[in-house]
Amino acid sequence: MHIAIVLIRYKPYGGYERQAALLADTLLARGHKITIISSQWTGEKKPGLEFIQLPIIKLSSWLKTGSFALMSRAVINKKSFDLTIAFDRSLTMDIYRAGSACHKSWLAARIKANGLKARISIAINPLNRVINRIEKSLFANLKKTQGTVVVLSSASAKQIQNHYHLPSEQFKIIPPAVDFNRFKDQDSLEFRSKAREKLNLQKQDRLLLHVGSGFRIKGVERIIRALPHLQNIEDYKFRFIAIGADKKGIRQNQALAKKLAVDHMVEFPGGVENVGEYYAAADCFLLLSMLETFGAVTAEALWFGLPTLIGRGAGSAGLISNSTLGEVVEESVTPDKLAQMINVCLNRDYNNNSKQDINNIKQQRRNLSAKCDLTTVMDQYLELIETKKRV
């Protein structure tokens, strides 16, 4: 088959761009011809991989988004592809990977988190009107052509259905692919010991870890507000590390930690490449997102066997099927209750089970992460593409 993959930037790293690159490599290995329709290319050009560069307008974000949608549609209509898969908002495709789910839902979450200030900012920014108009058109077109919307979780499907009323049968849930090979040999006790030593963690120290930018939406403030209540627990000495390239979020949360007199417990290393060292050193993982289409970092934390506390708004909350594996945190949970939940998770791993029981629990968590295994996820895409081919 001759398959077009459409996205604004094509590169072999990053978030959804990495997902597109992994799919392209998988399809090439199966003998398909791939054309990348994009405004920018980064990485190696492989045999069987063609690149069509879109001349989009980059003067502003709304012009960039709008011109990409229009120009990509023009190229797709001009060429003869057997199948078109869009990873960004275009206006025509057979399969749309809605990695960001629905923009209207994201705007609602932003207003909820930031109040009047966000409402004003959203109203005066033409980008939001452009995106909403494109999404309205693309979902209407998919409904008409019976195309498929790939979502990362059932929560993402519900967001889209709430606004655009697509039939359930047009959705296919495929989680993000995670290449766990990059953490090879990082789950050993020896590696953990060295990672904790590097971070100056003592035996009695308990490291709480968050990974992901966009601190306000992802609940970092809520974790910091729980820290004063954790200080009163005698069994442990707590530290909290929030990884993410979020300069504004770092400043705001540093100020909050200082105000609450817990700044000595908190670190913000920014974005890091060696995130495996932090997972290995951690004792508990937290991603308290108000809205998150999935949260692949959850799968990474589970691969390391960490107890996880996931916000109800994250699609990956669906991975946590019982309290042995972690906890799903509601938005209404108070700081003292959150501290209590963290303490219960730690006690479950350290105080109330034999070594064999703990190992079994960690293995259960790792088994859950397998849903995001690279091969497993790519097989689901191949099955979907073969189904489209038969139709």
pLDDT in tens, 137-186: 999 999 999 999 999 988 889 999 999 999 999 999 999 898 898 898 89
Q: How far apart are the first and last CA of the chain?
A: 13
- CATH of the structural domain 180-372, one choice from 3.40.50.150, 3.30.950.10, 1.10.1040.50, 3.40.50.2000: 3.40.50.2000
The span from the CA of 326 to the CA of 319, in Å, is 9
6 and 93 in contact (C-beta within 8 Å)? Answer: yes
Q: How confident is the model at residue 122 (pLDDT cuts 50, 70, 90)?
A: confident
| Tens-digit pLDDT profile for residues 15-43 | 788 888 889 989 999 999 999 999 988 77
Instruction: Give the pLDDT of residue 119.
Output: 82
Check whether 107 has a pLDDT greater than 90.
no
Distance separating alpha carbons of residues 331 and 222, to the nearest angstrom: 9
Amino acid identity for residue 383 in this structure: E
Locate CATH 3.40.50.2000 in the chain. 2-177+374-390, 180-372
**Predicted local confidence at residue 242, as pLDDT:** 95
Pairing, β 40-41 against β 9-10: parallel
For residue range 284-303, list pLDDT tens digits in order. 999 998 777 788 888 899 99
**DSSP string covering 47-104, please?**
TTEEEEE-----SSHHHHHHHHHHHHHHHHHHS--SEEEESS--S--SEEE-TT--HH
From 3.30.390.10, 3.40.50.2000, 3.30.470.20, 3.40.50.300, which CATH number describes the 2-177+374-390 domain?
3.40.50.2000
Tell me how crowded residue 377 is: count the other CB atoms within 10 A of its CB: 20
Q: What is the mean pLDDT of residues 256-261?
A: 96
Supply the pLDDT for residue 239: 94
Residues 6+ away with beta carbon under 8 Å from 16: 7, 87, 97, 99
Token readout for 349 is 């791993």
> Between the CA atoms of 90, 94, 95 and 100, what dihedral angle is there, to the nearest 10 degrees?
20
Cα–Cα distance between 73 and 87 in angstroms, integer? 13
CA distance 5 to 367: 31
One-letter amino acid for residue 221 of the chain = E
Q: Is the pLDDT of residue 60 over 80?
A: yes
**pLDDT at residue 391 is higher than 60:** no
Contact present, 303 and 369 (Cβ < 8 Å): yes
pLDDT mean over 243-272: 92
Please state the rounded mean pLDDT for residues 70-74: 94
Model-level pTM greater than 0.85? no
Instruction: Give 359-372 pLDDT, tens digit per residue.
Output: 888 888 888 888 89
- Please tell me the predicted confidence (pLDDT) of residue 13: 60
3-state secondary structure of 122: helix
Average pLDDT value for residue range 241-252: 91
Q: What percent of the chain has pLDDT over 70?
A: 96
For residues 261 and 295, the model is more confident at 261
